[in-house]
Amino acid sequence: MKALVFHGPGSRSWQQVPDPRIVDPTDAIVRVDAVTICGTDLHILKGDVPAVEPGRILGHEAVGTVVTTGSAVTTVKEGDRVLVSCITACGRCRYCRESAYGQCRGGGGWILGHRIDGTQAEYVRVPFADTSTHLIPAGVDSEAALMLADILPTSYEVGVINGRVRPGDTVVVVGAGPIGLAAIMTAQLYTPSHLIAVDLAPSRLEAAKQFGADLVVAAGDDPLESVAEVTGGLGADLAIEAVGVPETFELCTRLIRPGGRLANVGVHGAPATLHLEDLWIRNVTITTGLVDTFSTPTLLGMVAAGRLDPARFITHRYTLGEMEAAYKTFAHPQQTAALKVVLSRP
Amino acid sequence: MKALVFHGPGSRSWQQVPDPRIVDPTDAIVRVDAVTICGTDLHILKGDVPAVEPGRILGHEAVGTVVTTGSAVTTVKEGDRVLVSCITACGRCRYCRESAYGQCRGGGGWILGHRIDGTQAEYVRVPFADTSTHLIPAGVDSEAALMLADILPTSYEVGVINGRVRPGDTVVVVGAGPIGLAAIMTAQLYTPSHLIAVDLAPSRLEAAKQFGADLVVAAGDDPLESVAEVTGGLGADLAIEAVGVPETFELCTRLIRPGGRLANVGVHGAPATLHLEDLWIRNVTITTGLVDTFSTPTLLGMVAAGRLDPARFITHRYTLGEMEAAYKTFAHPQQTAALKVVLSRP
Amino acid sequence: MKALVFHGPGSRSWQQVPDPRIVDPTDAIVRVDAVTICGTDLHILKGDVPAVEPGRILGHEAVGTVVTTGSAVTTVKEGDRVLVSCITACGRCRYCRESAYGQCRGGGGWILGHRIDGTQAEYVRVPFADTSTHLIPAGVDSEAALMLADILPTSYEVGVINGRVRPGDTVVVVGAGPIGLAAIMTAQLYTPSHLIAVDLAPSRLEAAKQFGADLVVAAGDDPLESVAEVTGGLGADLAIEAVGVPETFELCTRLIRPGGRLANVGVHGAPATLHLEDLWIRNVTITTGLVDTFSTPTLLGMVAAGRLDPARFITHRYTLGEMEAAYKTFAHPQQTAALKVVLSRP
Amino acid sequence: MKALVFHGPGSRSWQQVPDPRIVDPTDAIVRVDAVTICGTDLHILKGDVPAVEPGRILGHEAVGTVVTTGSAVTTVKEGDRVLVSCITACGRCRYCRESAYGQCRGGGGWILGHRIDGTQAEYVRVPFADTSTHLIPAGVDSEAALMLADILPTSYEVGVINGRVRPGDTVVVVGAGPIGLAAIMTAQLYTPSHLIAVDLAPSRLEAAKQFGADLVVAAGDDPLESVAEVTGGLGADLAIEAVGVPETFELCTRLIRPGGRLANVGVHGAPATLHLEDLWIRNVTITTGLVDTFSTPTLLGMVAAGRLDPARFITHRYTLGEMEAAYKTFAHPQQTAALKVVLSRP
């Protein structure tokens, strides 16, 4: 089959590789019908994720069709259309038993396109298929479902649920890239009164409005002032960090009211300063987290019921064979305005 | 001043009575600008609520203007436009300290138009004004705010919050009168996947659709079947009882899935049969409750932010002096299609 | 091997049967080292549980040693000492993913000694071994661990956790048999201020005191009065029903304060009357449930740490071959004062 | 009357001052029967709390007898024995309505001995007496109750409740001064499996053991290793920071497992470094907070029921007139081994 292979920092190719086969009785082989690219894939290609070794097939998001299953697999079978989640769950360890699949201690967690071969390929082996794939309900478009492989559950679980959004809240989302926009989309499931987006790029703020922000704070504006204005000077109930640099995290700590929450979704590479001399007395709650994908079945149901339209994230479409072109588009969002690209089996 | 006085079962009059005056330092006198009638007022008039003695001014919902305050009142002052809530809170007892104002042990709870004179009058004395009135934000219409005196917080707190609605849930509301419709309206703040209304009257089911139900079950249809259809045979996550008779309560216990919830909002006059021989093993949670109005500030904020439109409940408008006509309209909803009537100072 | 076989109502025998063998790759065969008898086994023998067919080996609680495992089993291996839980979990269905293993839709739930052969035998086949057995920590006695197969997690999850016991609460336990005593033992993990036991038998009330009740209400005393005395007339925060008849359930609804909880643990065979005409306004929460055993790893850890001493339940000890004698002792607690009997491999 | 007056950094005196009198109708005048000194008082005397102006009477903890009440006070009366809490609550603002009294926006919060005259005096004026004092149940010793004015609710609410201690948890308390010891005492209300104390001073570790720690980590030992040992290498469920310097906060972030919590109780004067490059993926929750005293009635009830013995904190006793000697003892715990000192009316 063909697959996107990582050859070390800066180097990748869409090339011929051996087909995957069943290794463990809990495995399934899935034919990839649609796949997408994640910001993390770009980090891997830069060499930022040393655990990824040369020769690895990248990708951790896919919609596909089950081709074969191991002898222990009971909930999916040949021909089923499934979502392959970014998180693999052994379903047996302490963390999986508490639905914290992202922290799986039994061989799962984020492994696809990381520690084992991934989904940017014609076929993929999915370990622990019973607990790591999701049947796609009839009537749910494959492309829409694909958005539930990573980006939507990430922002929903780590931003919105960890941040405990409640009806009537004022929520600020700092960073309006795909992850921030997904936080804006899913925060609305709890009907906040105000949903404020902060970013430097005018195009992203325009997207934030279209995804449901009722107020945007542009470069040059003071986010503290904007938030103070709609909250009577008090501060936001929740700030969602969706950038991943110290400055935006520290901004979030200043944007929230006494008793407020800060939900970090951004991937950080450096420490931040935590101003405990101010914060110790302010009753704040700060959370971090990797996605667990426990919400994926719920989100699939909401797409089926017409309550969520994740296909709005898709700005570009390719065939699987156009992998190189898709990467180029996705790697330059300033030029291409790409949010998510989808590559489909022709 | 003029007021609606209860003269014993079946008898009432809009008549001249003495003006109210400050009794305790925590009191406020409020000029009534808009008032509404509750189903409970009809029950009182029938003689169903023996605690209400002849001579009592009825009414427990109002929007008005503060005229005078006692010496201990600090948060509202002359000229303030306030919502007078159906629940009076001493703010000091064990229950009030836990925001369970409806269960106040310090002289509050539901007392207006019940144990002390109420709001269907030109003026009303409001005890514990600091904790029993709510400033109405600029930009919020008085009529819209009036709907937050009882009906909306009741359905929201006792139905939706007690019932723990979550995004993606299937919620059934049994009974589509004003309280059921308020449950339908406020359940949507949590974006359920399915919101199903059950009632016998076609006009009410039509209203349910307009308020946001995506499925209605009419007389002659089997609600169990309808719910099974959208839940893969499993049952609803939550059933909200909004009628108040044993049959509908028992129906609710059958409509929910294993692990489901039943939130009772209906006012009951007779016991129901609880089929523990079926339910003991099904992990169900059943809740009951009187409104506490802890959610009122949040709901006011949501109206101000344009996230909630409670004025949709108002079907008829009168002046205060037309109290008799308003009662007639409200008492015969089959003929008048009345949901809520508003009487305003001319 | 030898096993206790059900031959229809009133008839059982400890007899020779074929050894169990691996059927599915997720199975384990466990040599039974210690087993106990549950009140449910007595019900089956009376013919109260029609799903149990003649020929079935009874028993759903055991401690044993893994003998063989199927090809998909990864977390236990030959020679491991494990707890076989009363609940089997597929680990894959919607309910298992939410830790509601008792409601498993994938072939688990309560199946041992019910729908498949059970643990009152020399060997037992345990389906879904990875998610249905628990490794026993070094230093934890097998007999102590055996008490965690059913009785302790049942009372802890369905009584104490569902009932949300908090430090300082007043908790009433109605029924001081083994399940009630387990509720008394595990409620203390949350340090209630008052823990009151209600029963008719003086010997059980004596046991209740020894297990930690600070107040007992005997036949002839008025439990409402006793609870009122320690709660300033308010009522209990929580009543735990541990009998399973309508009268005790209805008593529980009267014992709790406004805002209180009722956690039903009893197995009911008949409906109860729910006095909604009183309860609708009292903010009560009623829960029911079958054990899920999600708490078993935690409880095992607490036994290992010396925080819980479940061996206190064991009043009688036998060898496996003395199954008939053990049943006789357990079936007549009035005469034998039996709480739990343990049968061990000699 | 006599009172302890602050005269600027480094200067204080026990001197004659005018008696307090009722200012607002919600005030009470309380005769001080017993008072204690807080570490914060020492900070004020050093000049670390600039809001405290010269001439201020210090102290924010007392047990006393009500002498006079304003016209609006309804829940306490002349002759009542009350606990005067470190937090004054208006009972009316948004924060007080959510039991977040420490963040009161209506004139309360920490004001006694800070923004208004305090309790280290023969009499004290207590604003908002209905919501800022607590009746002491008969049978509760005044000295024991005094420990509930600040230290116990602080550690219980900000450490144990914010940190969500659950039965079976491993809890590490970093810092074994009075606040850390109170965390150790109150964490046991939830029966953790392991309760580990970390400090440099051997005498404090000895105290930690006596207060219930089952493991102590001394200077020179590696706390990471000790915690790893009892948690199978995973880390603690909860770390409670009870020192207030960057190093101990950062240590706490390393002591917790993926999915763990860090509850900060320490008062910080400088920022800490938050290693988001490690923590972003670990699902941690960090909380901060000032005490709200919402738990005080519960804790009083537990003392009355014999479930909590806070008098254990009292190491030294004086009469009110020995204020200077008491300060000296409390200011030098290394020499005096003082935990809490009590000064009583002779």
Q: Chains contacting A with at least 3 CB pairs below 8 Å?
A: B, C, D
Q: What is the dihedral of CA B217, B223, B228, B229, to 10 degrees?
A: -30
Residues of A in contact with C106 (CB under 8 A): 74-75
Q: How confident is the model at residue C219 (pLDDT cuts 50, 70, 90)?
A: confident
Q: Which residues 93-132 of D have a C-beta within 8 angstroms of A?
A: 95, 98, 100, 102-103
**CA pair distance D296, B325, nearest whole angstrom:** 52
Residues of D in contact with C298 (CB under 8 A): 166-168
Nearest to A57 by CA among A80, A26, A35: A35
Distances (CA, A) of C213 to B11, B257, B292: 55, 35, 34
- What whole-number percentage of chain C has pLDDT above 90? 98
Q: Do C302 and D168 touch (CB under 8 A)?
A: yes
Helices (H), chain B: 39-46, 94-97, 129-132, 142-146, 151-153, 178-187, 202-211, 223-230, 246-255, 276-279, 296-304, 323-331, 333-336
pLDDT tens digit sequence for A8-38: 999 999 999 999 999 999 999 999 999 999 9
Residues of D in contact with A244 (CB under 8 A): 280
Is the pLDDT assigned to residue B220 strictly greater than 90?
no
**CA pair distance B260, B278, nearest whole angstrom:** 14
Supply C271's token pair.
Answer: 């409906």
- Contact between residue A122 and residue A33 where contact means Cβ atoms under 8 Å apart: no
Bridge partner residues of A29 (DSSP): A68, A125
Q: How confident is the model at residue B36 (pLDDT cuts 50, 70, 90)?
A: very high
pLDDT tens digit sequence for D34-57: 999 999 999 999 999 999 999 999
How far does A98 lie from chain D, in Å, by closest CA? 10
Nearest to C316 by CA among C346, C335, C340, C332: C340
Position B186: which residue type?
T
User: What average pLDDT does this structure show over D86-112?
Assistant: 97
Nearest to B236 by CA among B152, B168, B185, B153: B168
Let me know the angle formed at the C-alpha of B304 by B302 and B305, rounded to the nearest 5 degrees. Answer: 65
Q: Do D273 and A276 touch (CB under 8 A)?
A: no
Helix (H) or strand (E) holding A120: none
A244-250 long-range contacts, Cβ below 8 Å, gap at least 24? Answer: A244/A175, A244/A268, A244/A269, A244/D280, A245/A270, A246/A270, A246/A271, A246/A272, A246/A273, A246/D276, A248/A174, A248/A175, A249/D274, A249/D276, A250/A275
Residues of A in contact with C91 (CB under 8 A): 91-92, 130-131
User: What average pLDDT does this structure show over B21-49?
Assistant: 96
Q: Do C288 and B282 touch (CB under 8 A)?
A: yes
Q: How confident is the model at residue A220 (pLDDT cuts 50, 70, 90)?
A: confident
Is the pLDDT assigned to residue B219 strictly greater than 90?
no
User: What average pLDDT does this structure show over D12-40?
Assistant: 98
User: What average pLDDT does this structure show over D93-122?
Assistant: 97
- Contact between residue B175 and residue B200 where contact means Cβ atoms under 8 Å apart: no
Q: Do B281 and C287 touch (CB under 8 A)?
A: no
**CA pair distance C52, B81, nearest whole angstrom:** 68
DSSP letters, A265-298, are -SPPSS-EEE-HHHHTTTT-EEE------TTHHH
Q: Chains contacting D with at least 3 CB pairs below 8 Å?
A: A, B, C
Residue A142's contacts (CB-CB under 8 Å, 6 or more residues apart) are: A33, A34, A63, A81, A136, A344
Q: What is the CA radius of gyration of chain C?
A: 20
**D103 closest CB neighbour out of A259, A271, A288:** A259
Nearest to A106 by CA among D158, C76, D77: C76
Distances (CA, A) of B3 to A24, B50, B52: 80, 20, 16
Q: How confident is the model at residue C256 (pLDDT cuts 50, 70, 90)?
A: very high
Residue B183's contacts (CB-CB under 8 Å, 6 or more residues apart) are: B155, B156, B159, B160, B173, B240, B242, B265
Report the mean per-residue pLDDT for chain C: 97
pLDDT tens digit sequence for D299-309: 999 999 999 99
How many CB atoms are located within 10 Å of the residue B222 CB? Answer: 9
**pLDDT of the residue at D239:** 98
Is the pLDDT assigned to residue D274 strictly greater than 90?
yes
Q: Which residue is listed with tokens 């909860």?
A: D238
- Contact between residue D143 and residue D80 where contact means Cβ atoms under 8 Å apart: no
Distances (CA, A) of A240 to A169, A223, A287, D243: 13, 13, 10, 29
Nearest to D84 by CA among D119, D40, D123, D111: D119
Q: Do B94 and D130 touch (CB under 8 A)?
A: no
Q: How far is CA B316 from the centre of its chain?
A: 18
Residue B50's contacts (CB-CB under 8 Å, 6 or more residues apart) are: none
User: What average pLDDT does this structure show over D208-231?
Assistant: 95
**pLDDT of the residue at B214:** 96
**CA pair distance B118, B127, nearest whole angstrom:** 11
How many CB atoms are located within 10 Å of the residue C141 CB? Answer: 15
SS3 label, residue C105: coil
Residues of A in contact with B301 (CB under 8 A): 168, 193
Q: How confident is the model at residue C220 (pLDDT cuts 50, 70, 90)?
A: confident
Residue A281 Rama label (left phi>0; alpha psi -120 to 50; beta): alpha
Q: Do B280 and C258 touch (CB under 8 A)?
A: no
Q: Do C92 and A75 touch (CB under 8 A)?
A: yes
Nearest to B198 by CA among B163, B160, B225: B225
Q: Do C168 and D304 touch (CB under 8 A)?
A: no
Is the pLDDT assigned to residue C276 strictly greater than 90?
yes
**pLDDT of the residue at C207:** 96
Q: Do D168 and C299 touch (CB under 8 A)?
A: yes
ipTM value for the complex? 0.97
pLDDT tens digit sequence for C128-168: 999 999 999 999 999 999 999 999 999 999 999 999 999 99
Is the pLDDT assigned to residue D333 strictly greater than 90?
yes
**pLDDT of the residue at D10:** 93
Residues of A in contact with D272 (CB under 8 A): 273-274, 276
User: What average pLDDT does this structure show over C186-209?
Assistant: 97
The secondary structure of residue D107, as a DSSP letter, is S
pLDDT tens digit sequence for B118-174: 999 999 999 999 999 999 999 999 999 999 999 999 999 999 999 999 999 999 999
User: What average pLDDT does this structure show over D300-327?
Assistant: 97
How far does B279 lie from chain D, in Å, by closest CA? 28
Is the pLDDT assigned to residue A46 strictly greater than 90?
yes
Q: How confident is the model at residue D220 (pLDDT cuts 50, 70, 90)?
A: confident
Supply A98's token pair.
Answer: 């508490």
**CA pair distance A300, C327, nearest whole angstrom:** 50
Is the pLDDT assigned to residue A219 strictly greater than 90?
no
Report the mean per-residue pLDDT for chain B: 97
Distances (CA, A) of D262 to A128, A239, D157: 33, 19, 13
Q: Does A305 touch chain B (CB under 8 A)?
A: yes
DSSP letters, A197-215, are EE-S-HHHHHHHHHHT-SE
How far does A204 lie from chain C, in Å, by closest CA? 36
- Contact between residue D27 and residue D73 where contact means Cβ atoms under 8 Å apart: yes
Helix (H) or strand (E) holding A165: none
Bridge partner residues of B262 (DSSP): B239, B286
Residue C33's contacts (CB-CB under 8 Å, 6 or more residues apart) are: C62, C63, C64, C65, C81, C142, C344, C345
pLDDT tens digit sequence for D148-171: 999 999 999 999 999 999 999 999
Q: Do C167 and D298 touch (CB under 8 A)?
A: yes
What domains are defined for chain A? 2-150+292-344 (3.90.180.10), 153-287 (3.40.50.720)
**pLDDT of the residue at D273:** 98
Helix (H) or strand (E) holding A325: helix A323-331
